[in-house]
Homo-oligomer: A and B are copies of this chain.
Amino acid sequence: MRYVLGVDGGGTITKCLIADDKGNLLGQGIGGPSNYQVIGVRKAIDAVEMSIKEVIRIASIRKAKFEVICLGLAGVGRSIDYEVVGKALKGLNLAQKIILQHDAFIALAGATICRSGVLIIAGTGATAFGINEEGRRARANGWGFILGDEGSGYDIGQKALRAVTRAYDGRGEATLLTSRLIQYFKLKSLLDIVQRVYRDKLSRREIAALTPLVVEAAKKGDRVAILILKEAAEELATSVVAVIKNLKTEKEKLEVAITGGVFKARELILPYFKGRVKEVAPKTRFIEPRFEPAIGAIFLGLREIGVEIDDEILKRVNDSCARLGEIKGNVKK
């Protein structure tokens, strides 16, 4: 039996799966964050190693057995990143072959089962990534909170905060978001939000977590909240359209996989988002990702050792997803 490792390294956790060449998942291991842009190479590699050690222990397999490890890591995108991180990974002596990709690449592989398509992720950050039939790749957005993550949860949360200060000053329209934020943060007065944000150092994740408040206000008809979500939908559509244009797939029946917390605001985001994409690429089919990113990494690893991802493999992956519980396979949808 041959085995592959698949690693999904993100800003919060690192997840590692192990699979045999029949598509049976044998366990998962979790490590800390592994975005090396944020925490540095050493800590990122440590997190990867920890997740791998855990899954090897759980699956009771000897390390020497691995033919290939496929990693998709956040913060890896430029050739210099691949060099730096690739070198550090080789030092771990993990497998005969290392496939190193960025996080969106394995996410797309999981979402479309290694077929061409586009993935749009809108969580704390926002990224669009796609591959066409010829293997051409394109990416848009996902530059982070300063250089741009437009349409992300962070973007929405920050706009909510700013809408409320604008309303307070009389620079902008009154909004339900004011009372919602005062309630949410348990403030005596809105002015106390300054302390909550700066002195208490509200994290980007915490700011992104304000998105449900915006959705709630929008559902009650709040114009400011509705506009914030519409702008987010517009930004996300613009990202997908930029990828489609770069791939020159405007006329194809390309699949666009949609994922991330922002899209939970379904009726407030999706119709506008889809409409804008269809204006440019009318045959687009919108799907939910079929498998999670770590399984995308497994698929890529299996293909590397010559295993075709056929129905039989998919059935076994699916069954073991259900068995392992915490892993998201399409069986759970």
- A169 proximity list for chain B (CB < 8 A): 139-141, 239, 242
Q: Is the interface of A mostly helix, strand, loop or mixed?
A: helix
Given contacts A169-B242, A242-B169, contact A77 B197 (CB under 8 A): no
Please tell me if the beta carbons of A146 and B197 are within 8 angstroms of each other in the complex: yes
- A144 proximity list for chain B (CB < 8 A): 194, 197-198
For the complex, count residues of A whose C-beta is within 8 A of B: 38
Bound CA–CA A99/B170 (angstroms):
28
Indicate if A185 sits at the interface (CB-CB under 8 A). no
Indicate if A14 sits at the interface (CB-CB under 8 A). no
Tell me which of A53-61, A157-165, A256-264 binds B.
A157-165
Please tell me if the beta carbons of B143 and A194 are within 8 angstroms of each other in the complex: yes
One digit per residue, 1 when the CB lies within 8 angstroms of any chain B CB and 0 when it does not, for chain A 134-164 equals 0000011101101110100000001001100
Bound CA–CA A140/B171 (angstroms):
7
Please tell me if the beta carbons of A161 and B148 are within 8 angstroms of each other in the complex: yes
Given contacts A146-B161, A148-B161, A202-B146, contact A78 B194 (CB under 8 A): yes
Bound CA–CA A242/B148 (angstroms):
29
- A77 proximity list for chain B (CB < 8 A): 191, 194
- How many copies of this chain does one complex carry? 2
Query: Can you list 20 A-B contacts (CB < 8 A)?
Result: A37-B195, A37-B198, A37-B199, A38-B198, A77-B191, A77-B194, A78-B191, A78-B194, A140-B171, A141-B171, A146-B161, A147-B165, A147-B193, A147-B194, A150-B162, A169-B239, A170-B245, A171-B238, A171-B239, A171-B242
Nearest 10 A/B pairs, CB to CB: A140-B169, A170-B242, A148-B162, A78-B191, A143-B165, A171-B242, A148-B165, A147-B165, A169-B242, A171-B238
Sample of 17 further A-B pairs with CB below 8 A, known A147-B165, A171-B239: A38-B198, A78-B189, A78-B192, A80-B195, A139-B169, A140-B170, A141-B169, A144-B197, A146-B161, A146-B198, A146-B207, A147-B194, A147-B197, A148-B166, A150-B171, A170-B245, A171-B242
